[in-house]
Amino acid sequence: MPVAQAFRPYVILNAAMSLDGKIATPTGDSRMSSAADMRRVHRLRASVDAIVVGLRTLLVDDPKLTVKFVEGYKPYRIIVDSHARTPLASYVVRTARDVPTIIAVTSTAQRKRIEALRERGVTVLVCGKGPQVSLTFLLRRVRMLGIRRMLLEGGGTLNWSMVSNSLVDEISVAITPRILGGTGAISLVGGTGAPRVRDGVKLKLLSSARYGPDLVVRYKVLNPGPPSH
Protein backbone atom coordinates (compact mmCIF):
# COMPACT_ATOMS: atom_id res chain seq x y z
CA MET A 1 0.00 0.00 0.00
CA PRO A 2 1.44 3.43 -0.94
CA VAL A 3 2.28 5.37 2.22
CA ALA A 4 0.36 8.51 1.10
CA GLN A 5 -2.93 6.61 1.22
CA ALA A 6 -2.69 6.27 4.98
CA PHE A 7 -3.72 9.91 5.25
CA ARG A 8 -6.35 11.10 2.80
CA PRO A 9 -10.08 11.90 2.58
CA TYR A 10 -12.77 9.27 2.02
CA VAL A 11 -13.48 9.55 -1.72
CA ILE A 12 -16.80 8.92 -3.48
CA LEU A 13 -16.86 8.84 -7.29
CA ASN A 14 -20.20 9.92 -8.73
CA ALA A 15 -21.23 10.10 -12.38
CA ALA A 16 -24.17 9.87 -14.73
CA MET A 17 -23.62 7.43 -17.59
CA SER A 18 -25.52 5.87 -20.47
CA LEU A 19 -26.26 2.15 -20.45
CA ASP A 20 -23.17 1.66 -22.63
CA GLY A 21 -20.92 3.35 -20.07
CA LYS A 22 -20.47 6.79 -21.68
CA ILE A 23 -20.40 9.92 -19.53
CA ALA A 24 -20.51 12.26 -22.54
CA THR A 25 -21.36 12.06 -26.24
CA PRO A 26 -18.57 12.31 -28.83
CA THR A 27 -19.32 16.06 -29.02
CA GLY A 28 -18.91 16.45 -25.25
CA ASP A 29 -22.59 16.77 -24.27
CA SER A 30 -22.85 15.30 -20.77
CA ARG A 31 -26.21 16.55 -19.49
CA MET A 32 -27.89 13.23 -18.92
CA SER A 33 -29.13 13.15 -15.30
CA SER A 34 -32.86 13.32 -14.64
CA ALA A 35 -34.27 16.02 -12.33
CA ALA A 36 -34.68 13.36 -9.62
CA ASP A 37 -31.04 12.33 -9.95
CA MET A 38 -29.86 15.94 -9.89
CA ARG A 39 -31.49 16.31 -6.47
CA ARG A 40 -29.65 13.21 -5.27
CA VAL A 41 -26.36 14.63 -6.59
CA HIS A 42 -26.88 17.93 -4.77
CA ARG A 43 -27.69 16.10 -1.52
CA LEU A 44 -24.48 14.14 -2.03
CA ARG A 45 -22.55 17.39 -2.65
CA ALA A 46 -24.00 18.77 0.59
CA SER A 47 -22.55 15.76 2.45
CA VAL A 48 -18.91 16.31 1.41
CA ASP A 49 -16.15 18.79 2.19
CA ALA A 50 -14.90 19.06 -1.40
CA ILE A 51 -15.83 18.33 -5.02
CA VAL A 52 -12.99 17.52 -7.44
CA VAL A 53 -12.92 17.53 -11.26
CA GLY A 54 -10.29 17.23 -13.98
CA LEU A 55 -9.26 20.13 -16.19
CA ARG A 56 -11.06 18.91 -19.33
CA THR A 57 -14.37 18.73 -17.49
CA LEU A 58 -13.82 22.32 -16.45
CA LEU A 59 -12.94 23.39 -20.01
CA VAL A 60 -15.88 21.57 -21.63
CA ASP A 61 -18.62 22.24 -19.05
CA ASP A 62 -17.52 25.37 -17.15
CA PRO A 63 -19.31 23.82 -14.11
CA LYS A 64 -20.44 25.68 -11.01
CA LEU A 65 -19.68 22.79 -8.61
CA THR A 66 -21.95 24.34 -5.99
CA VAL A 67 -24.81 22.93 -3.91
CA LYS A 68 -28.41 23.59 -5.00
CA PHE A 69 -31.63 22.62 -3.18
CA VAL A 70 -29.86 22.29 0.21
CA GLU A 71 -29.14 25.55 2.04
CA GLY A 72 -25.87 26.58 3.65
CA TYR A 73 -23.30 24.21 2.13
CA LYS A 74 -20.17 25.43 0.33
CA PRO A 75 -17.82 22.51 -0.17
CA TYR A 76 -14.39 23.33 -1.59
CA ARG A 77 -14.10 23.04 -5.36
CA ILE A 78 -10.89 21.41 -6.54
CA ILE A 79 -9.64 21.50 -10.14
CA VAL A 80 -6.84 19.12 -11.12
CA ASP A 81 -4.93 21.22 -13.64
CA SER A 82 -1.19 20.47 -13.97
CA HIS A 83 -0.25 23.59 -15.96
CA ALA A 84 -2.66 26.13 -14.39
CA ARG A 85 -4.64 26.42 -17.63
CA THR A 86 -7.99 27.02 -15.89
CA PRO A 87 -9.36 30.13 -17.65
CA LEU A 88 -9.57 33.27 -15.52
CA ALA A 89 -13.06 33.78 -17.02
CA SER A 90 -14.29 30.35 -15.84
CA TYR A 91 -17.16 30.26 -13.34
CA VAL A 92 -15.05 28.73 -10.57
CA VAL A 93 -12.39 31.45 -10.83
CA ARG A 94 -14.93 34.28 -11.11
CA THR A 95 -16.63 33.08 -7.91
CA ALA A 96 -13.53 32.00 -5.98
CA ARG A 97 -14.01 34.74 -3.36
CA ASP A 98 -17.46 33.36 -2.51
CA VAL A 99 -16.84 29.61 -2.70
CA PRO A 100 -13.49 28.15 -1.55
CA THR A 101 -11.63 27.02 -4.66
CA ILE A 102 -8.41 25.05 -5.00
CA ILE A 103 -6.48 24.53 -8.22
CA ALA A 104 -3.92 21.74 -8.02
CA VAL A 105 -0.95 22.26 -10.34
CA THR A 106 2.61 20.96 -10.70
CA SER A 107 5.85 22.90 -10.45
CA THR A 108 5.80 23.12 -14.27
CA ALA A 109 2.92 25.63 -14.13
CA GLN A 110 3.86 29.21 -15.09
CA ARG A 111 4.40 31.49 -12.12
CA LYS A 112 2.42 34.26 -13.81
CA ARG A 113 -0.62 31.99 -14.20
CA ILE A 114 -0.40 30.91 -10.56
CA GLU A 115 -0.20 34.53 -9.40
CA ALA A 116 -3.17 35.56 -11.57
CA LEU A 117 -5.26 32.77 -10.03
CA ARG A 118 -4.17 33.64 -6.48
CA GLU A 119 -5.03 37.32 -7.06
CA ARG A 120 -8.59 36.20 -7.80
CA GLY A 121 -8.92 34.31 -4.52
CA VAL A 122 -8.00 30.81 -5.71
CA THR A 123 -5.82 28.63 -3.48
CA VAL A 124 -3.16 27.13 -5.74
CA LEU A 125 -1.49 23.96 -4.45
CA VAL A 126 1.68 22.78 -6.15
CA CYS A 127 1.44 18.98 -6.13
CA GLY A 128 4.62 17.40 -7.45
CA LYS A 129 7.14 18.07 -10.19
CA GLY A 130 5.89 15.57 -12.75
CA PRO A 131 3.96 16.17 -15.96
CA GLN A 132 0.68 15.66 -14.05
CA VAL A 133 -0.64 16.45 -10.62
CA SER A 134 0.40 13.91 -7.97
CA LEU A 135 -2.98 12.80 -6.70
CA THR A 136 -1.64 11.14 -3.55
CA PHE A 137 0.14 14.38 -2.69
CA LEU A 138 -2.99 16.43 -3.41
CA LEU A 139 -5.17 14.21 -1.24
CA ARG A 140 -2.69 14.38 1.63
CA ARG A 141 -2.55 18.20 1.36
CA VAL A 142 -6.32 18.68 1.31
CA ARG A 143 -6.77 16.29 4.23
CA MET A 144 -4.48 18.61 6.17
CA LEU A 145 -6.85 21.48 5.26
CA GLY A 146 -9.63 19.56 7.03
CA ILE A 147 -11.19 17.85 4.00
CA ARG A 148 -12.34 14.44 5.24
CA ARG A 149 -14.89 13.50 2.61
CA MET A 150 -14.52 14.25 -1.07
CA LEU A 151 -16.72 13.82 -4.14
CA LEU A 152 -14.97 12.96 -7.41
CA GLU A 153 -17.06 14.16 -10.37
CA GLY A 154 -14.90 13.06 -13.31
CA GLY A 155 -14.20 13.06 -16.11
CA GLY A 156 -13.09 9.65 -17.29
CA THR A 157 -9.37 10.43 -17.35
CA LEU A 158 -9.23 11.66 -13.76
CA ASN A 159 -11.59 8.87 -12.65
CA TRP A 160 -9.14 6.28 -14.03
CA SER A 161 -6.14 7.90 -12.34
CA MET A 162 -7.96 7.99 -9.01
CA VAL A 163 -9.40 4.47 -9.20
CA SER A 164 -6.20 2.86 -10.51
CA ASN A 165 -4.19 4.52 -7.72
CA SER A 166 -6.56 3.04 -5.10
CA LEU A 167 -7.79 6.50 -4.08
CA VAL A 168 -11.54 5.84 -4.40
CA ASP A 169 -13.62 4.22 -1.64
CA GLU A 170 -17.14 4.29 -3.03
CA ILE A 171 -18.77 4.68 -6.46
CA SER A 172 -22.29 5.76 -7.33
CA VAL A 173 -23.45 5.83 -10.91
CA ALA A 174 -26.77 6.98 -12.30
CA ILE A 175 -27.50 4.88 -15.38
CA THR A 176 -29.57 6.92 -17.79
CA PRO A 177 -31.78 4.85 -20.12
CA ARG A 178 -29.97 5.72 -23.33
CA ILE A 179 -27.31 4.21 -25.53
CA LEU A 180 -24.88 6.85 -26.84
CA GLY A 181 -22.16 4.87 -28.61
CA GLY A 182 -19.17 6.58 -30.20
CA THR A 183 -15.77 4.91 -30.04
CA GLY A 184 -14.12 8.15 -28.94
CA ALA A 185 -16.84 9.15 -26.45
CA ILE A 186 -15.59 9.44 -22.87
CA SER A 187 -16.42 6.45 -20.64
CA LEU A 188 -16.85 6.34 -16.88
CA VAL A 189 -13.13 5.60 -16.69
CA GLY A 190 -10.52 5.98 -19.42
CA GLY A 191 -6.80 5.38 -19.03
CA THR A 192 -4.87 2.27 -19.98
CA GLY A 193 -7.36 -0.14 -18.43
CA ALA A 194 -6.89 -3.54 -16.81
CA PRO A 195 -5.19 -6.19 -18.97
CA ARG A 196 -7.36 -9.03 -17.61
CA VAL A 197 -10.78 -9.13 -15.95
CA ARG A 198 -9.19 -10.45 -12.79
CA ASP A 199 -6.94 -7.33 -12.67
CA GLY A 200 -9.98 -5.01 -12.64
CA VAL A 201 -10.87 -3.00 -9.54
CA LYS A 202 -13.14 -5.18 -7.39
CA LEU A 203 -16.45 -3.73 -6.20
CA LYS A 204 -19.25 -4.83 -3.92
CA LEU A 205 -22.83 -3.73 -4.65
CA LEU A 206 -24.24 -1.70 -1.75
CA SER A 207 -27.60 -0.60 -3.14
CA SER A 208 -29.67 0.10 -6.22
CA ALA A 209 -32.60 2.48 -6.50
CA ARG A 210 -34.72 4.26 -9.12
CA TYR A 211 -34.50 8.05 -9.40
CA GLY A 212 -37.10 8.97 -11.97
CA PRO A 213 -36.04 7.17 -15.18
CA ASP A 214 -32.48 6.56 -13.88
CA LEU A 215 -31.12 3.55 -11.99
CA VAL A 216 -28.59 4.55 -9.34
CA VAL A 217 -26.17 1.82 -8.30
CA ARG A 218 -23.79 2.26 -5.38
CA TYR A 219 -20.66 0.19 -4.87
CA LYS A 220 -17.99 -0.12 -2.24
CA VAL A 221 -14.48 -0.40 -3.68
CA LEU A 222 -12.82 -3.46 -2.19
CA ASN A 223 -9.26 -3.07 -0.96
CA PRO A 224 -8.75 0.69 -1.50
CA GLY A 225 -5.96 2.34 0.44
CA PRO A 226 -7.33 3.07 3.94
CA PRO A 227 -8.66 6.60 4.43
CA SER A 228 -8.08 8.54 7.61
CA HIS A 229 -11.11 10.05 9.36
Ligand X SMILES: NC(=O)c1ccc[n+]([C@@H]2O[C@H](COP(=O)([O-])OP(=O)(O)OC[C@H]3O[C@@H](n4cnc5c(N)ncnc54)[C@H](OP(=O)(O)O)[C@@H]3O)[C@@H](O)[C@H]2O)c1
By CB under 6 A, name the binding residues for ligand X.
15-16, 23-24, 28, 30, 32, 53-57, 60-61, 80-83, 85, 132-133, 135, 153-158, 161, 186, 190
**Quick one: 93 or 198, whose CB is closer to ligand X?**
93
Closest listed residue to residue 114, CA positions, set 140, 91, 83? 83
CB of 177 to ligand X, least distance (A): 14
In the chain, which residue ranges form alpha helices assigned H by DSSP?
35-45, 55-61, 91-94, 111-119, 135-144, 156-164
CB 219 within 8 A of CB 206: yes
Residue 81 or 170 with smaller CB distance to ligand X: 81
Report the residue number whose CB is nearest to ligand X.
155
Q: In angstroms, what is the minimal distance from the CB of 61 to ligand X? A: 5
CB of 225 to ligand X, least distance (A): 15
The dihedral sign for the CA sequence 171, 177, 181, 184: negative
For residue 4, CA distances in Å to 17, 62, 136, 206, 226 come to 30, 31, 6, 27, 10
Least Å distance, CB 223 to ligand X, is 21
| Residue 134 vs 229, nearer CB to ligand X | 134
- Please give the backbone phi and psi of residue 195, each rounded to the nearest 5 degrees, phi first: -65, -35
Nearer to ligand X, 153 or 169 (CB): 153
